[in-house]
Chains A and B, each alone.
Chain A
Amino acid sequence: MLTALGSGFRALGRNWGLVVLVLLANLGFALLLAVPLSLQLEGDLANRSASSGMMYDFDYDWWAAWSERQRGPSSALAPDVLGTGFAFRNLELLLTGWLPAGLFARGDRASLDPTILGLGTLYLLLQVFLTGGLLGVFRAPQGGWTVRGLVHGSGFYFGRILRVSLLALAAAGVVFAANAPFARWVDGLAREAVSEKTAIALALGRHALLLLALVLVHMVSSYAKVLVVCEERLSALLAFLSSLGFCARNFLAALGQYVVVLALGVALLFLFGALDARLAVVGWKSQIVALVLSQLFVAARVALRLGLLASQVELQQARGR
C-alpha cells in the first residue's frame, strides 16, 4: 500500500501540470461567484465606515444587517469561512446530504443557495469528465500528457466513467437512506445518555460512521473507474462489481490509502490554520500572500486527490491480476 502510494505520488509529481490544470478549473468555477460578490461588497461598503472595520477585522454589526438582506450565493458569506471553520462547514454540508445538489438532504438546518449547489454539480461533472483522461495519464508508466490528449482520453471514457459515477451516487443514496433511521436511533440513545460525554461520543461516532461509509463508496467507485480505464472495461456495472471484489480482497491496502491521504489532509488543514492565524490580512500585499497561501492549500488538496487516484492505479496494476 505504501509502495503504491509512493509510486502514485511520484507519478503525479512527474505530471504536476495536472494539479495546476485542475486548480485552474477549480479557481475558475469559484471566481464565477466570488467576483460578483467582490463587486457587490465594494458597492455595499462604499462610503461606509464598516469598510475600514471589514478591512482590518470583521464588523459584526455591518455583516449581520447585510447578511439578512442577502438572497442568493452572497448569503453564504459568514464568519465560519474564517480559520478552519470552512472545513467543518463543508464537511457538515457533505454529511447532511447537501452534496451534490442537495440530493440527499432531509430538510436539515444547513442549506446552500441553489446557485452554489448548481455550480458544485457542474464542477463534479467536469471532474467526472476529466477522470478518464487523468487515469489514462497515470496508466502510462512514462507519464507525460498534453491537454489535447487529456481531453481526448476524458471524452473517450466519459460515458462509462459517468455511469460509474451515477452508480456511486445511487450507492451514496442508499447510504444516506440507511443512515437516516440509524442517526435517529443513535440520537435517541444520545438524548437518553446519562453523561454528555456519552452523548458526544455517540453523535460524533455516527457522523464518523457516515463519513466512513461515504469513503467506502468512493473507494469502490474510484477503483471501478480505474478498472474502466486500465482494463478497458465496457460495462460500468460490471466494473463496479469487480471493484467491490477488488476492494474486498485488498481491503486494508485500499482503505489504508485513504487513511494516509486523509491524515495528510488533516495535517494540511492544521498547517493552514496555524499560518492563517498569524497572517493579518489588510492591504494588497497581505491579501496577495493570503491568496497565494489559499491557492497553495487548494493545490495541495487537489494533489492529494490526484495522488490518491494515481496510487489506486498503481495498487490495481500491482494486485489486480
Chain B
Amino acid sequence: MGPRTAGLLLAGLAGVVLASTGAPAAAPRHVAPPLPPVAGKDAPGLPPLPEVSPRNASYTIEARLDPEKRTIAGSLVLEWRNTSEQALSTFPFHLYWNAFRNNLSTTARGAGHRAPGDREREDRTFGWIQVKTVRLVGGAEGGGTIQDLTPTVRYLNEDGNADDRTVMAVRTSRPVAPGETARFRIEWDSLVPHGSIGRAGWVHDYHFVAQWFPKIGVFWKGAWNCHPFYPWTEFFSDYGVYDVKLTLPKGFVVGATGRLESKADNPDGTETFRFVQEDVHDFAWTASRRFLERRSRFDEPGYPPVDVRLLLQPEHAHLAERYLEATRIALRTYGTWSAPYPYPQVTVVDPAWGSSSGGMEYPTLFTGGASVFAPPELQSPEGVTIHEAGHQFWQGLVASNEAEEAWLDEGFTTYMEAKASDHSLGPAGWGRRYFGGAGRGGRAGWPVVAPGVAIPRGSESLVDLREGGESDAMAKRAWTYRDEGSYSLNSYAKPALVMQTLEGLLGEETMVKVLRTYSRRFRFAHPTTEDLIATVNEVSGQDWRWFFEETFFSADLCDYAVEVRSDPARTPAGWLEGEGGRLELKAPERKGRRGDGNRFESRVTVVRHGEVLLPVEVRVDFADGRTVTERWDGRDRWTRFRYEGAKVVHAIVDPRRRIAIDVDPSNNEWTSDERPARRAATKWAGRYLFWLQNLLELHTVVG
C-alpha cells in the first residue's frame, strides 16, 4: 500500500468518524438554576441582622514600609473594651511574625509548608516583629501616658516552648473593669520575611502584609484565648474599627481592608494611604508596582451593592473577567444562602509569582491564585476565588475560633464553595499539568484537560477522606491533628462533606434556613460548634446531636453498600400435604429446571462497611416495572430485604445521594444488566492499550 492509498484510507476514516457521530467537540455551556430570593435585613422568620459589631478592639495604626530594607516601622493605638464580667490586668498580644524569626519558634519546630527544614531555608525567609514600647494611655486620642507597660512585657508559651515569641503579655497595675475601655499605644519594628513560605512577605516589589501588627487576644468564655502561632493554625480576634495609614515610596499600587479614605503625597517622596473599615477583626494590605487594576460593581436586586476592586498580575490580565465573575458568584450565592455581604467594597488580589500569599482571606480583602494557562474546565481561578470570597461570610462576619474549631470556617466555606461552583459553573473537569518544574502547588506547567471527565461535587474530598479520614476525629483543636494533611482533611474536606450530608438529610430549604439563621444570629459573635448544633435543632425542630456525634466528633468513616441475589423461585418439593391432608412425596426438580422463569426469590442485602451510623433509604426496581423504597436505620452491620415475584433488576442505597460522606459511592448501586460491564471494560482497556502502545514506541527514542 503506497502513501497515497494510506492517505486516502485515513481521510476516509476521518469522514466516517465525522459522519457517524453527532458528538459535539465541546460540552454545552452550564446554565445556573435560579436562586431562592435573598433574605433582607428584616426577613420574617429569621433573626434580625446586626448592623454593627461590638467594636471592642479598634485599632488606629500608622506604618511605614521601607521596601529596600524590607522593614516596617509602626505604631498603633488600640482601644480595647472589657466586655467580660471580670476585671482584667493581663493582656496578651499576638506577634505572629515572630514565627519566622528563627528555627526555634513553635511554627518552625513543627511540620508542613510553614516549617521548611534548615536545608531549604534561606536567610531572607526569616522575619520578625519587635515591640519597642507598650504604654497604657489616656484620653480619646491616646495622648497621655498612664503607665509604661514595656517593663512588664513577657512572652507566653502555653506549649512549653520557651523560645517562641509569638505571644507577648503586658500587665497593668490597675485592672480594667468590666465595661471600661483601655487604650494601649504600641510601637514596633518588623522585618518583612520573603514571601515564599508564610502568607505574608515580599517577592520582588510585591508585598503582602498580613498578621503584621501586635494584635490583642480574645477574652472568651471567661479566659484569654491567645494561642501561639502553631504550624498550620489560623486566627481569632475581636471586631472593631480599623483606621490605618500606610506610608510607602511613590509608585506603588496599594490594596487593603476597607475603603481608601485619602491619599497624600509627602515631601520625602513617599505617599500615605489612609484606609478605614468598621466592624472587622483584622487588617491586611498589599502593595506592588506591577499591579493592574480592574473594577466592577456587584449590584443585583435584593443585595447591597459592592464595589469589587481587582489587583492583577500583568500576565494574568486575560483572567480579569473570570476573577470578577467568580467574585460575583460568591457574593450572589453566599449572600442568598446565608446573609448578604454588608461592606461596600471588596478587594481581590492576584498574588505574584513565587509568593505564598495566595488562597487566603482577610476582612474585605482576599487573595486568589491563577496560572497563565487556565483552561476554563479546571475552574481556576474560579474555585479559589469563590472559596476565599466565601470566607468573607464566615471568618469575616461570624469569626469563629479558627485555631480551635477550624472546620466552622474552612469547612463551611468549602461546603458552600462546592455548592456555589456546582450551581453556577457546573462540575469541574479533570486535568493534569506537565513540565512544570518550578512553581507552587499544582499551578505550574502546561495543563491538559481530559475530555468528557467531570468531577461531581464533593468527589475530590472523598478521595482525601478515604486516604486519611481515620487519622483524627474531626473536631479537635487545630494544632493537635496528627499532621498538616490531617488538619487539612478535617478542616476542609470532611466538614464540607458532613455539611453536604446534613443538607441532604434536612433538605435544601431547611439547610438554607439553618445557614441563614446561624449567620444572622451569630454575626460578629464568635459562634461555636454547639451554637451550630443548637441552630440545626431549632430550625429543624429535631435533635440532630446524634448526627454530629457520628461525624464531627468521630474519626469513623461511612460506607454503605448493596448486594443483590435473585434466584428462580423454588418449586415445592419433599413431603407436602396433598388432598385430604395426606402427606405426599414430591421429588425435587432436576437441576436447571427450578421455578417457572417468571418468579424469583430475591434478596437485597445492605451492608454497613464503615462505623458511622446513618439512616438510609434503599430503592429496589423490579423487572415488571415496580419500585419499592425501603428504609433502614443503618445501625446493624447489615440488613436484608426479601422479595418474591419479578426479578430485581436494580437496587440502590441512598438513591437521592443524600449521604455525601459515604466514602465509596460506587458500591451503592447494583444492576442486573451485565452488558455494560463488558462494553465498558473493552472501551477502557482499548484506551489503555492505545496509551501503552504509544509508550512502547516512545522507548525507541532512548537507545
Contacts and interface: CB of A to CB of B under 8 A. Distances in A.
Given A41-B685, A88-B434, A275 B14 contact: yes
Interface stretch (B335-343, B403-411, B494-502, B666-674): B666-674
B686 A294 contact: yes
A26 B438 contact: no
Nearest to B458: A61
B680 A293 contact: no
Contacts of B672: 47
Contacts of B462: 61, 64-65
A3 to B, nearest CB: 16
Contact of A199 (B444, B450, B674, B693): B444
Interface string A146-190: 000000000000000000011011001000000000010011101
B702 A94 contact: yes
Contacts of A194: 204, 290, 352-353
B671 A37 contact: no
A165 B703 contact: yes
Find the residue from A206, A276, A278 having the highest chain B CB count within 10 A. A278
B13 A292 contact: yes
Interface string A97-116: 00110000000000000001
A176 to B, nearest CB: 10
A13 interface: yes
Interface stretch (B15-23, B234-242, B389-397): B15-23
B696 A55 contact: no
Given A88-B446, A119-B696, A197 B372 contact: yes
A127 B688 contact: no
Contacts of A120: 695-696, 699
Interface string B689-702: 11111111111111
A41 B680 contact: yes
Nearest to A215: B701
Contacts of A50: 666, 669, 680
A85 to B, nearest CB: 5
B353 A193 contact: yes
Contacts of B18: 275, 278
Interface string A11-55: 001001000000000110111011101111110011111111011
A2 to B, nearest CB: 15
Contact of A123 (B430, B652, B684, B696): B696
B314 interface: yes
Interface stretch (A226-234, A244-252, A296-304): A296-304
Given A186-B437, A283-B679, A214 B686 contact: no
B605 to A, nearest CB: 13
B448 A35 contact: no
Given A60-B453, A99-B701, A275-B17, A196 B313 contact: yes
B580 interface: no
A305 interface: yes
B683 interface: yes
B588 interface: no
Contacts of B676: 45, 51-52, 54-55
Given A38-B682, A92-B434, A282-B679, A190 B439 contact: yes
B113 interface: no
Contacts of A84: 448
A65 B559 CA distance: 12
Contact of B692 (A9, A30, A94): A30
Interface string A260-303: 00000000000100111111111110110111111011101111
A200 interface: yes
B251 interface: no
A191 B432 contact: no
A298 B446 contact: no
A64 B664 CA distance: 9
Given A82-B451, A83-B450, A301-B694, A127 B699 contact: yes
Find the residue from A34, A52, A303 having the highest chain B CB count within 10 A. A34
A316 B444 CA distance: 43
B31 interface: no
Contacts of B693: 26-27, 30, 294, 298
Given A61-B462, A65-B665, A194-B290, 6 more contacts: A30-B692, A52-B680, A187-B437, A274-B25, A282-B679, A290-B686
19 contacts: A13-B3, A26-B696, A27-B689, A33-B688, A46-B674, A48-B667, A51-B674, A54-B680, A60-B455, A61-B462, A86-B695, A90-B695, A99-B702, A116-B692, A190-B439, A197-B315, A277-B25, A280-B23, A298-B694
